[in-house]
Chain A
Amino acid sequence: MKKILLASVAALATTGAHAQDEPIKLGIVLGFTGPLESLAPGMAAGAEMAMEEVSESGLLLDGTTIESVRGDSTCIDAAAATAATERLITSDGVSGIVGADCSGVTGAMLTNVAVPNGMVMISPSATSPGLSEAEDNGLFFRTSPSDARQGVIISDVLMEEGIESVALTYTNNDYGKGLADAFQSAYEEAGGTVTISAAHEDGKADYSSEIGALSAAGGDRLVVAGYVDQGGSGIVRAALDSGAFDTFHFPDGMVSQALVDRFGSEIDGSSGDNPGTDCPGAQAYQDMASEAGYDGSSPFSAEAYDAAALILLAMQAAGSTDPASYKDSVMDVANAPGEEILPGELEKALQILADGGDVDYVGASAVELIEPGESAGNYRIVGFENGELVVEGYR
């Protein structure tokens, strides 16, 4: 709160000095109440830090400052989220929106408010593959990858290892089903065969029937799209014990220290992936966050910083705060060619853009936007050797 006040004071001061128009207002619509309420503060702080950085530089559109306006998406109540967004656009007059966090409300806000009002929205954390197909008139972007992306990553990893036939089991919920479908379509497109795609329930007493079905269908590897603390481990245990499979691929719900502790060298030769980046921006952002007094490693906080930064850089590139004109610049500033921009270098980026140059915003989460305006996604690929988890690379 103190930070917002300071930012507003700073905003007022600079406004006076430059005798500019009203400050630019950016909306932050996140689930400040509801299931993601523990993550929202870190995300909002990230977005506001980017705004503050740009305000202080005094370079955006000849010295305009930025003011943040928060709205509550509630994460689950689409009606409340739409009302909050409606208020931000019509009464507060924001020029862009960072949000929302959960996929469901994000879709509702986009269709009901953002598109009719021609407002740009950049979500830091909505990962549902469904949003890729949403009718958005080029107004919607996200700095987090779609779960469909992970499906492609898994498919690539397996194909590169020469594995062309796998059995697939997933935890029976939206995450598991979505990921399993995404993987299956990517893998089959790449020429692989999914011999069976079988759901498993979490916390059940016995997985012999699932293992029986998976083993009868066969495959060179078993892909376990489940949770390590739930049925996923039960499936792996039963598969190892019965000799049905000796190697596995573990998506993000499974890769953890618990997995290594539990199975040790029994899963040697398996592979896995989870979101992660080794780009220098990630570390720089965390340092900046701890200096500002919040936890930068909190999930999606870096993505929120990047979302706000992208909106502001796009405005600078387009020379306008009108969403209709700057929406086309978002992809340009996010991707090559141009000078690479890390967190804390927004001032430099604004200067380059003001001079008519080109930037490639890398930011805190190694942003690379692909069509239709979502993060390409950065995943850490791991292997298992001698009972240890080994990082094999990033992609």
Chain B
Amino acid sequence: MEPLHALVTLANFVIVPAVAYGSQLALGALGVTLIYGILRFSNFAHGDTMAFGTMAVILTTWGLQSAGIGFGPLPTALLALPVGIAVAAALLLGTDRVVYRFYRDKKAVPVTFVIASLGVMFVYNGFTRFVIGVDDQRFADGARFLVSARGFRDATGLDEPLVIKSTQAITVVVAVVVVAVLFWFLNRTRTGKSMRAYSDNEDLALLSGINPERVVTYTWLIVAGLATIAGTLYGLDKSFKPFTYFQLLLPIFAAAIVGGLGSPIGAIAGGFVIAFAEVTITYPLKKVLGYFLPESLAPDGLVQLLSTDYKFAVSFMILIIVLLIRPTGLFRGKSV
């Protein structure tokens, strides 16, 4: 039984949270990487796009809830997702029309786009705060736990709890579905193929008759979907607060760069690398070792590799090491 206890503890505090967090980061990083691959700039407004889309979802959710419409044991927010995506898409396409197209026509260098996206970030940022405020908003409803601490203890007779929140399960399931659909779209459909062609070689793609504006429009539509879904899943699992979404930008970019900017598979891998790095390296092994080792050898100290203060340092160390050894990231994206 003892090793089983250790495994359950590890699963509860390391594996389950890291998988859920990793999925959220992966979806965010996918959006960043698509924009980098196809539009060729780092979109700093991505975190606030997530916040904006999530805000639309929250407002729709509240509307549905007050109309008495629910989704059974699932959160009502999933029903509101299409509306949120539509609103976010309208915002992104509008921004592209007003801001980015101007620079595209002028064939501006990427750094101009990056700075423009910084400005867009502040505008979104203010707009979201203006509409929904700066406070925490909770909008999760439906069943809270798939496996609850007490339920697990009663069912298995173990001392250690294992908790799987329904939002964690939904996060992983939705992330898998979204990634599968995205890869099918990019690899099998005509539009997806034209997007990849445009990403690989713009001039060649133009020569073969691909309409660049169409590619750009599709990219923004997909990005709106990814950002809104990632933001909503994150908000369901934790809570919605505009400032936190702004802060999410950092781990999301770290994930995209570690995986290789421009590479969708890399973005997913990067998300999980960053999430697991943050959680595992700072996890004290005291309890786990206590279950494995005989009592006389059980550690007194925490057996913690690094204090949790350093968790961000860990992700950035990984980032630096990856960039030193493989400047294009784990999955050979475009060089940064």
Query: Which residues on A are within 8 Å of B, measured CB to CB?
Result: 172, 195-196, 198-200, 203-206, 208-213, 215-218, 229, 233-234, 237-238, 241-244, 262
Contact = CB atoms under 8 A, between A and B. Distances in A.
A104 B138 CA distance: 39
12 contacts: A195-B302, A196-B302, A199-B307, A205-B238, A212-B13, A212-B17, A216-B13, A217-B286, A229-B136, A238-B238, A241-B165, A243-B161
B216 to A, nearest CB: 29
B211 interface: no
A209 B311 contact: yes
A43 B17 CA distance: 48
B105 interface: no
Contacts of B244: 203-205
Contacts of B308: 198-200, 209-210, 213
Q: Interface residues of B toward A: which range?
A: 35 or more
B65 interface: no
Contact of A244 (B13, B238, B251): B13
| Max chain B Cβ within 10 angstroms of own Cβ: one of A196, A203, A212, A229 | A212
Secondary structure of the B side of the interface?
A: helix
Interface in B64-82: none
B234 A211 contact: no
A229 B279 CA distance: 24
A136 B251 CA distance: 49
Contacts of A234: 238-239
Contact of B279 (A172, A209, A262): A209
Contact of A216 (B163, B278, B286): B286
Contacts of A212: 13-14, 17, 279, 282-284
A262 B238 CA distance: 13
Nearest to A197: B307
The list of the 6 closest CB pairs from A to B, nearest first, reads A243-B149, A208-B17, A212-B13, A243-B161, A216-B284, A209-B279
B295 interface: no
A172 to B, nearest CB: 7
Contacts of A211: 13, 17
Given A216-B283, A216-B286, A217-B284, A242 B136 contact: no
Contacts of A238: 17, 238
A242 B283 contact: no
Contacts of B311: 209
